[in-house]
């Protein structure tokens, strides 16, 4: 029984899900069923003093070997391992002896218990579509063997010789396959739970990466722009250069605070703040900005869609500063059939770049700009698109209200 015990000890390590404990209980339930039924049914006959001692010993030892072999095979099955060839041979030989001796002595009530139990264990290694037909064959073959043997011995109770093997197959087979099915469902649910956890972690990492890009990309671009402007003004207009550098200092402080808030999980992008900030930054860069925003509509939007629209404003502003030579821009938020529509339009599209190239410039290249935002909007039922026509570049986002 040491090998069977090792099977249980191997399953003893639990990760907190309770699955190892359940597997252990399944093993004990299956192995215990085989041991109890065989032990009680055959044990009483083995202890009968009217039966020859040698035959009793042979039957007892072969029954015990059947129980051990079935227990080991069950342990391998619940661990999803292939059956050991040695234990398969042991189970087959022990079962043959445990069945042949009582059958030869006309004990039609107990001879079929060991074969029914062993067959039920072995079919557990087969796919379900094959396990049930095999049980059906056993349901026909074992009663036939009992009936033929009873006829050869002139047994008066032929019905007992036929229905007892059928009863054993029906009792063992479905019960053991049902317990195995319960274990498989539990294992799959646990795997699904683990996968859901891993996906949640991956999704959170992607969200964090996107938010970090939104913060740092925007602020660094504006800081670079203002630093360049301050460098140009350093000699010609020191006062304005100092003013630009003070704004750079303020922007750096804002970036630091927002990064800390993001790490702590408190940061939320607001549409109103992003539009106001975009207008301020673009004006400082020499871009004439027209903001036409329905304030009531913006306030009525749910937090999620409103935050995503704010990110679209931030990303479009960053791309405008980084990739275009725009002189005019418009930010328009109007009602849409399903919710709200945000349009950000500028006249800075490069004349030598087509729509595909401008889309790449808008963030499609690294997968963290407008392309990433488009995926996030799609996930909440919105839509994001961008197009370059002539000298204009237009970003359009829609969300449901």
Place of tokens 């390590």: 13
Same domain for 151 and 208, yes or no, is no
Same structural domain for residues 135 and 177?
A: yes
Examine the domain organization and report whether 104 and 223 are in the same domain: no
Q: Which domain holds residue 89?
A: 2-195
pLDDT higher than 50, residue 6:
no
Centre a 10 Å sphere on the Cβ of residue 200 and count the other Cβ atoms it contains.
10
Helices 128-152, 113-122: inter-axial angle, 10-degree rounding: 160
At 322, which helix (H) or strand (E)? helix 303-323
Structural domain ending residue among the three candidates 195, 229, 259: 195
Position 73 scores a pLDDT of 93
- pLDDT tier for residue 203 given thresholds of 50, 70 and 90: low
| Residue whose structure tokens are 């036929």 | 162
Split into its structural domains, the chain has a count of 2
Angstrom distance (rounded) from CA 24 to CA 186: 13
pLDDT digits (tens, 9 = 90+) for 260-309: 766 655 555 678 878 887 888 788 777 899 988 888 888 888 888 888 88
Residue 396's SS3 state is strand
Confidence band (pLDDT; 50, 70, 90) for 214? low
Task: Please name the residue ranges forming H helices in 156-237.
Answer: 158-236
What's the pLDDT tens digit per position in 216-263? 666 777 787 778 878 888 888 888 888 888 888 887 887 777 777 666
| One domain for residues 106 and 233 | no
* Residues 146 and 286 occupy one common structural domain: no
Token pair belonging to 395: 């970003």
Report pLDDT for 200: 65
| Under 8 Å between Cβ of 196 and 236 | no
Residue 366 confidence (pLDDT): 40
Which of 179, 195, 211 delimits the end of a domain? 195
Task: Tell whether pTM > 0.85.
Answer: no
Q: What is the rounded average pLDDT for all residues in the chain?
A: 80
Q: Are residues 246 and 126 in the same domain?
A: no
At residue 94, the pLDDT reads 93
The predicted structure's pLDDT at residue 355 = 42
Structural domain ending residue among the three candidates 163, 195, 227: 195
Helix (H, G, I), strand (E, B) or coil at 353: coil
Q: How far apart are CA 147 and CA 70, in angstroms?
A: 27
Residue 158 has pLDDT above 60, yes or no: yes
């Amino acid at each position: 029984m040491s090998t069977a015990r090792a099977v249980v000890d191997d399953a003893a390590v639990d990760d907190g899900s309770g699955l190892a404990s359940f597997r252990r209980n399944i093993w004990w339930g299956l192995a215990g069923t085989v041991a109890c039924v065989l032990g009680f049914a055959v044990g009483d006959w083995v202890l009968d003093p009217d039966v020859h001692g040698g035959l009793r010993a042979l039957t007892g030892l072969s029954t015990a070997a059947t129980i051990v072999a079935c227990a080991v095979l069950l342990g391998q099955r619940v661990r999803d391992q292939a059956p050991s060839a040695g234990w398969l041979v042991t189970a087959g030989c022990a079962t043959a002896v445990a069945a042949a001796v009582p059958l030869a002595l006309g004990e039609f009530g107990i001879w079929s218990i060991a074969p029914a139990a062993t067959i039920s264990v072995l079919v557990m290694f087969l796919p379900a579509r094959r396990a049930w037909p095999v049980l059906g064959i056993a349901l026909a073959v074992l009663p036939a063997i009992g009936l033929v043997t009873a006829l050869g011995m002139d047994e008066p109770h032929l019905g007992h010789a036929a229905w007892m093997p059928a009863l054993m197959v029906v009792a063992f087979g479905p019960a053991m396959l049902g317990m195995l099915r319960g274990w498989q469902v539990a294992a799959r649910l646990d795997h699904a739970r683990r996968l859901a956890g891993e996906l949640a972690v991956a999704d959170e990492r992607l969200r964090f990466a996107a938010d970090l890009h939104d913060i740092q990309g925007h602020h660094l671009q504006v800081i670079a722009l203002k630093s360049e402007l301050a460098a140009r003004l350093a000699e010609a207009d020191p006062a304005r250069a100092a003013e630009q550098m003070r704004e750079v200092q303020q922007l750096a402080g804002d970036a630091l605070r927002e990064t800390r808030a993001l790490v702590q999980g408190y940061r939320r992008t607001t549409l109103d703040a992003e539009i106001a900030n975009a207008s301020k930054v673009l004006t400082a860069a020499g871009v004439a900005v027209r903001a036409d925003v329905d304030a009531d509509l913006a306030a009525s939007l749910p937090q999620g869609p409103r935050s995503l629209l704010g990110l679209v404003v931030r990303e479009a502003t960053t791309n405008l500063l980084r990739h275009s030579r725009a002189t005019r821009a418009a930010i328009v938020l109007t009602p849409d059939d399903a919710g709200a529509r945000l349009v950000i339009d500028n006249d800075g599209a490069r004349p030598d770049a087509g729509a595909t190239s401008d889309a790449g410039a808008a963030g499609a290249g690294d997968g963290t700009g407008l392309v990433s935002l488009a995926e996030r909007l799609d996930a909440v039922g919105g839509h994001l698109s961008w197009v370059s026509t002539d000298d204009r570049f237009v970003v359009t986002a829609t969300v449901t209200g």
